[in-house]
Amino acid sequence: MHNRISIRITKSAQSSHVQFQYNTPPESILTTDGGNRINGVQDRRGKDIILGGLFTVHNDAEGSAGGKCGNKVWGQGMETLEAMFYSLDSINSDPDLLPNITLGYDIRDTCQ
């Protein structure tokens, strides 16, 4: 069973859709603004090692990364977030890389 989180990304006049799939359900999904924005995600249950990630995902109204939280999603921040998910999935699914060790994550959006 795969859990899915869908995030709508708007860039100027174009919009695209990003979807993350997990092999195991996340422990919790932290949201703010009435559930409109992902502020952080965790998957810690039953994991041996937890890796932290700090990524700028949301921009302020002026579009500068790392500033005030806004409703716009910063594409480069999403790419690094997706790269971490992919890396953890790849490592956890290969029994030869870290035998008997499962990696989890605690990832936060760095906007303020």
pLDDT tens, residue by residue, 84-99: 989 999 999 999 999 9
Residue 44 · residue 88 · CB < 8 Å: no
Give the start-to-end residue ranges of the domains of the chain. Answer: 27-109
Is the pTM value of this prediction over 0.85? Answer: no
Question: Given this model, what pLDDT does residue 97 score?
Answer: 92
Maximal C-alpha separation, the chain: 47
Question: Given this model, what pLDDT does residue 36 score?
Answer: 46
Question: Given this model, what pLDDT does residue 21 score?
Answer: 44
Pick out the chain residues at pLDDT < 50: 1-3, 5-33, 35-37, 66
Alpha carbons 99 and 92: distance in angstroms, whole number: 9
